[in-house]
Amino acid sequence: MKTPTLYIIIPCYNEEQVLPITSGIFLKKLLQLIKDQLITPESKIVFINDGSKDSTWEIIKELCKKEYYLGICLSRNRGHQNALLAGLLETKDLCDITISIDCDGQDDINAMDDMICAYYKGADIVYGVRNNRDSDTCFKKFTAEMFYKIMTKLGVESIYNHADYRLVSSKILEELARYKEVNLFLRGMFPLIGFNSTCVYYKRETRIAGESHYPLSKMISLAVNGITSLSIQPIRYITYMGILVSLLSGLGIIWAVLCVTLQIAISGWTSMICIICFLGGAQMISLGIIGEYIGKIYLETKERPRYSIKEYTYKTENNSTKIDFIK
Ligand code: UDP
Ligand code: MG
């Protein structure tokens, strides 16, 4: 197999505190992989600035004066998944493999060697999987476990404890480019694409500096997006619940008619209130779930671009894989 050109894809949002530290760590790794002849010397590190409000883009531009770094600046903050997609799709024609990784140094970069070896052995997708959640709070551990369990129950194929640290070949990225959805949950989309895949296990550390950009609200919205973009099972459950409630109401009607006929009808205020409250709540939840899907359809039908690029630190000729740096 020919030595692949690797692009390391790193989305960055307000990362001025970590970037000066981790950029050097990534470069050291890239140079070591080149020296070990696992990847070609044309390999690069690509930073995608996801509309940062701090000096992240200035730092990236400064780094890009060195030949191993490339920078892409999105027009505004579009979220981690869109920034990652931008990095993958913009570079898919320039390299043979990409490894996506967060820029905060939490994911063990030494797992890259094993990922590339797995690629040499025939895997087109190599999922980086954390072997424990020691660095997480109890709350995050519990909610993450629940999330994966619910995803599996709803028929969504997802890799337990895998986030977005993964190696993907350009063949897979060509396929990914055909998935036009705007509601992105990349870690659930790659298993859908198929081809040969495997996992590499690593220990995830705490952030080197700065703060997580995934507060509880964003985590919940990522989880809801993951479920509703990849499974319609919740709507089916509503139908099942509707059937069950209808059957129970049928029994209730028979019971009520019997009570009237036998003249033993009582003033059932409490039971009435309970039933009304229960059904009211169930209907609201059902409408909410259906609304979530309708909202998704609404967003999908608009076919808006998933990201817009304001600036590159490099340029490529039409249909060429040659890179020119913009000075
Ligand atoms: N990120 C991004 N856009 C956002 C939020 C985050 O590009 O709107 C990047 C961020 O810079 C980091 C990665 O996504 O490289 C993961 O974010 P973070 O470390 O905050 O998430 P956590 O590891 O806490 O889940
Ligand atoms: Mg992180």
| Tens digit of each residue's pLDDT (9 = 90 or more) over 255-302 | 888 887 887 777 777 778 878 878 888 888 888 888 889 988 988 888
**What pLDDT is stored for residue 321 in this prediction?**
64
| Residue 320 pLDDT grade (very low, low, confident, very high; cuts 50, 70, 90) | low
Substitution site in 13, 26, 137, 306 for ligand 1 pocket (most atoms within 8 Å of beta carbon): 13
| Residue 90 pLDDT grade (very low, low, confident, very high; cuts 50, 70, 90) | very high
pLDDT at 58 over 70: yes
Amino acid at 111: A
pLDDT at 319 over 70: no
Question: In whole angstroms, what is the distance from residue 282 CA to residue 46 CA?
Answer: 48
Average pLDDT, the chain: 89
pTM: 0.86
Alpha helices in 131-169 (DSSP H): 138-153
**What pLDDT is stored for residue 14 in this prediction?**
95
Tell me the average pLDDT across 183-208: 91
Q: What are phi and psi of 57, to 5 degrees?
A: -65, -35
129 three-state secondary structure: strand
Shortest CA distance to 4 belongs to which of 74, 97, 93, 71? Answer: 97
Which helix (H) or strand (E) covers residue 10, if one does? strand 6-12
| Residue 327 pLDDT grade (very low, low, confident, very high; cuts 50, 70, 90) | low
Residue having the nearest C-alpha atom to atom 23 of ligand 1: 212
The angle subtended at Cα 157 by Cα 128 and Cα 135, nearest 5°, is 40
Burial of 288 (0-12, 13-18, 19+ CB in 10 A): exposed
What lines the ligand 1 site, CB under 6 Å? 11-13, 15, 50, 77, 79-80, 83, 102-104, 106, 212-214
Amino acid at 76: R
Within 8 A by CB and 6+ apart from 289, the residues are: 234, 235, 238
Strand ranges of the sheet holding 162-169, from the earlier edge strand across to the other edge: 197-202, 125-130, 162-169, 97-100, 6-12, 44-49, 69-74, 309-312
Question: In whole angstroms, what is the distance from residue 234 CA to residue 289 CA?
Answer: 7
In the chain, pLDDT over 70 holds for what percent of residues?
Answer: 98
In the chain, pLDDT over 90 holds for what percent of residues?
Answer: 53
| Residue 3 pLDDT grade (very low, low, confident, very high; cuts 50, 70, 90) | very high
Count H helices and E strands in the chain, helices first: 10, 10
Q: Which one is predicted more confidently, 178 or 232?
A: 178
What is the 8-class DSSP label of residue 136?
Answer: S
Residues around ion ligand 2, judged by CB within 5 A, are 102, 104, 106
Which helix (H) or strand (E) covers residue 201, if one does? strand 197-202
Substitution site in 12, 55, 85, 102 for ligand 1 pocket (most atoms within 8 Å of beta carbon): 102
| Residue 50 pLDDT grade (very low, low, confident, very high; cuts 50, 70, 90) | very high
Substitution site in 19, 81, 100, 104 for ligand 1 pocket (most atoms within 8 Å of beta carbon): 104
Q: Which one is predicted more confidently, 167 or 246?
A: 167
pLDDT at 236 over 80: yes
Which helix (H) or strand (E) covers residue 99, if one does? strand 97-100
Tell me the average pLDDT across 218-235: 86
With contact defined as beta carbons under 8 Å apart, do 48 and 10 qualify?
yes
Residue having the nearest C-alpha atom to atom 5 of ligand 1: 80
Q: Which one is predicted more confidently, 156 or 117?
A: 117
